[in-house]
Structure 1
Amino acid sequence: MGHLSTHVLDTAHGCPAAGMAVTLQRILPEGGVETCQRFHLNADGRADGPLLSGEALQAGRWRLCFEVAAYFRARGVALPEPPFIDVVNLDFGIADVQSKYHVPLLVSPWSYSTYRGS
């Protein structure tokens, strides 16, 4: 059975991004977004369980919003105002609801990268 998960690594400190706030949104076909959930990453930099699974995992366009600047400020990192990276809005598509979709984020105050994980 398919599911959606995420994992964030803080590349500036070489550790999981524990405590980072993340919002999951569905991008609606007619425009706009629907917020599905908001959560904080655990000590491993992950959500405590799948973000979507079963009936909730639907084909379509989705967005994960990672609150990067707030996370780094909470860690004591001095950032300019406005920060270079504030919120990373990552738009992605789910085409096959039987597949596993893992969305990792590698992030620092100055850069980020992502890929479809396993």
Structure 2
Amino acid sequence: MSRSQITTHVLDAARGTPAAGVAVELLRRGTGDEWTSLARAATDDDGRVNALGPERVAAGEYRLRFDTGAYFAAGGTRGFYPEVLITFTVDEEGRHHHVPILLSPFAYSTYRGS
């Protein structure tokens, strides 16, 4: 599969390394508050997921769910956030959306990547 329209990258800011093995789920909002799971993957050794869901997604609201609790537990670290949810809008079909996060046990941040 070539690169998905939606990709992510997780950097462990506390360790100063990519966060390998973080489970990530891509969801799409349906009618009302229903969310449908489209794909699941885990970050590679560089903390990236380039094959997450279809190559093209329709316009709409999407969500990335990062299983940060399991990631920190596997490293013997106690974290505050068991998961991180990033909800964002895809306005135009076919445009790449890169949604990275900087992660630590007690904080995270995100931005619209390129």
Fold similarity call, TM over 0.5: yes
14, 25, 42: which one pairs with 2:44? 42
For residue 53 of structure 1, give the secondary structure of its aligned residue in structure 2: coil
Larger Rg: 1
Gaps of 5+ in 2: none
Give per-residue Cα distances to partners, 1:25-48, cap 9 Å, x unaligned: 101133211011111111011114
Paired position in structure 2 for 1:84? 80
Give per-residue Cα distances to partners, 1:85-109, cap 9 Å, x unaligned: 1100111000011321100010111
Note the C-alpha offset of 1:51.
Answer: 3.6
Paired position in structure 2 for 1:75? 75
For residue 52 of structure 1, give the secondary structure of its aligned residue in structure 2: coil
One-letter amino acid of the structure 2 residue matched with residue 111 of structure 1: A
One-letter amino acid of the structure 2 residue matched with residue 22 of structure 1: V
For the pair 1:8 / 2:10, whether they are aligned, the reply is yes
When normalised by structure 2's length, the TM-score is 0.89
Gaps of 5+ in 1: none
1:5–1:50: 8 Å Cα contact kept in structure 2?
A: yes
The 4+ residue runs of structure 1 with deviation greater than 6 A are none
51, 54, 74: which one pairs with 1:52? 54
Note the C-alpha offset of 1:50.
Answer: 5.0
Aligned residues: 111
For the pair 1:24 / 2:26, whether they are aligned, the reply is yes
Q: Aligned runs of 1:93-104 on 2, under 5 Å?
A: 93-104=89-100
Query: In percent, how many aligned pairs have the same letter?
Result: 41
67, 82, 104: which one pairs with 1:108? 104
CA distance change for structure 1 residues 86 and 113 in 2, over 3 Å: closer, same or farther? same
When normalised by structure 1's length, the TM-score is 0.86
1:106–1:112: 8 Å Cα contact kept in structure 2?
A: yes
Note the C-alpha offset of 1:52.
Answer: 3.4
C-alpha separation between the residues in 2 aligned to 1:92 and 1:25?
A: 11
